[in-house]
Structure 1
Amino acid sequence: MAIRFAAEGYAVALSARSEGGINDLAARIRADGGDAAAFPLDVIDRDGVVKSSREIADWRNGIAVLCNNAGLNTSHRRWDDIDFAEWDAIIGTNLTGAMNVIAATLPIMRAAGGGVMIHTSSWAGRFHAPLGGVPYGASKHALTSLSASLNAMEGVNGIRSTALCPGDVATPLLLRRPGYDPAAAARAIQPADMADLALAVARMNPHVAIHEIVLAPVQSDHR
């Protein structure tokens, strides 16, 4: 998403816990003629998120588009092997972390008269998906609901919100799913597909709110 938005002329603020990774990506974008800067943060650090949001807004005079992507999962996905510490971490990142980012960004977008929030939810955030796991599915259903609440309450401020609910996307998170066949990654949704979709949402008529988009790889197995 960062590379795609930068290629279309957006100034891209990159945030993640892995400072080295976002520094490298920002340098790559700048080398290609884009505008990017790194703002390390952990979404579960509420005060840190507020501080970083203000720094980002000061960097390029506001935040027009938020791509809320932080997420994690676990190999313990069934009720009979629930790990409570992992449950807390998943809910903390996928839900509370997303809420922290939303809450920190809302005042900036309100002051500017609007903005777009794009949240990476999941097919498991729209339908029960056993392979996604109990804690992951619960966190993503809640994230989809958070997105809907923004459209209900913040449209008056010109703020629109979209939950992207993809099936399998070829990312490292998918490759860590128990029993997943890496060869199937070529048939999954690609990160570039998600980037194109997010860009289309960001460019939508400002009088239109796309509440959610559900997508999945084509089902080609007819057995």
Structure 2
Amino acid sequence: MSSSLEGQLAWVTGGGSGIGLAGAIELARAGCRVVISGRDPAKLEAALDRARQGGVANDAISAMPLDVADKASVQRVAKDIQAAHGPVGILVNSAGINFPKRYWGDTDGETFDKVVAVNLSGATYCTLAVLHGMRALGRGTVINVASFVGWYLSHLTGPAYTATKAGMMALSHSFNIEEGVHGLRATALCPGEVATPILQSRPVPPSADDMARMLQEEDLGRTIRFVAELPPHVCINELVISPVFNRLYLGGKEFARR
């Protein structure tokens, strides 16, 4: 049975690993032409290899390096994507960073600015870059990978990351308020702990046993595909998903306040 996504163009930022790559693979399997972006060209090449090893056709997925915090580069890459493939119909804003020195007592303004620039401003720049193309199509789906901690505040991630993820939820709702009349929709995807490489930037990285009980990258890939495949008259404004063993409720040694 053919997918409703057959032939659509998807752009996935943060596509070199983790949730972004998992979403890109699932969208390609659903028939999308997918462009992944990230800051590291070598990492993007490795991601393309992984996608192709997973059965994605060579011509179904490609890469364009990009630092989403650089708004001029975002505009350039978005224009290059449109020139090569046409307007973007699905945007997955999955680029995100955090730092070990994240708490009020040991972070600084420069670190805060870096997190905001990638997590929140980057998502805004990319959405603005595809907005008018989506309007011309008369449809469009923006999936903002926010976080459980933007929905249920937690000490774990620190003020910068928490604020940006709450901000991504606000971006999603404001997009729906304004752009629903044009046939466009946004979802704030709010996952709990996911076993991805970003966890290694925590002050105390989780154990292998804890990571095995978390959501896995593939779980979020399927969730992204599910949101994108919904009929165009349906909008999931927020989707909160967590592991059954939810340490954001239960705690753990790395959750302890100092």
Corresponding letter in the other structure for 1:105:
V
Q: Superposed, which structure 2 residues align to 1:56-67 within 5 Å? A: 56-67=81-92
Question: How does 1:58-207 map onto structure 2 within 5 Å?
Answer: 58-183=83-208, 184-207=210-233
Structure 2 counterpart of 1:23: 45
- Does 144-153 or 73-82 show the bigger shift? 73-82
Letter in 2 for 1:37: S
Per-residue CA deviations over 1:15-50 (Å, capped at 9, x if unaligned) read 111112213333554563521111111101111111
Structure 2 residue runs of 5 or longer lacking an equivalent are 1-22, 252-258
Shift of 1:182: 2.2
- In the alignment, the residues of structure 2 paired with residue 86 and residue 155 of structure 1 have an alpha-carbon distance, to the nearest angstrom, of 35
For this pair of structures, how many residues does the alignment match? 223
Q: Which moved more, 1:200-209 or 1:33-42?
A: 33-42
3-state secondary structure, aligned to 1:79: coil
Q: 1:28 to 1:135 in 2, by over 3 A?
A: closer
Query: Is the Cα contact below 8 Å between 2:150 and 2:163 reproduced in 1?
Result: yes
Q: Percent identity?
A: 37
Q: Distance in 1 between matches of 2:63 and 2:246?
A: 40
Conserved? CA contact 1:77–1:131, under 8 Å? no
Which amino acid counterpart does residue 198 of structure 1 have in structure 2? I
Please say if residues 199 and 206 of structure 2, whose CA atoms lie closer than 8 Å, have aligned partners that are also in contact.
no
Separation in 2, partners of 1:61, 1:88: 33
Where do 4+ consecutive residues of structure 1 move more than 6 Å? 220-223
* Further displaced range: 76-85 or 5-14: 76-85
2:33 matches 1:11: yes
Deviations 1:71-117 (A, max 9, x none): 10111232222221110100111111111111101011111111100
Structure-2 separation of matches of 1:33 and 1:212: 29
Which deviations, in whole Å up to 9, do the C-alpha atoms of 1:183-213 show, x marking residues without a partner? 2110001010000000000011111110011
**After alignment, is 52-61 or 163-172 more displaced?**
52-61
Is 3-12 or 143-152 further displaced after alignment?
A: 3-12
Give the structure 2 partner of residue 211 of structure 1: 237
- Give the aligned residue type for 1:186: A
Secondary structure class of the residue paired with 2:105: helix
Distance 1:52 1:15 in 2: 9
Mapped partners of 1:17, 1:59: distance in 2: 20
CA distance in 1, matches of 2:44, 2:117: 22
> 1:111-155, CA deviations, whole angstroms, 9 ceiling, x for partnerless residues?
111110001100111121100111100111111100110000001
- Counterpart of 2:244, as a letter, is V
Give the C-alpha shift of residue 7 in structure 1: 1.6
Q: Distance in 1 between matches of 2:162 and 2:196?
A: 17
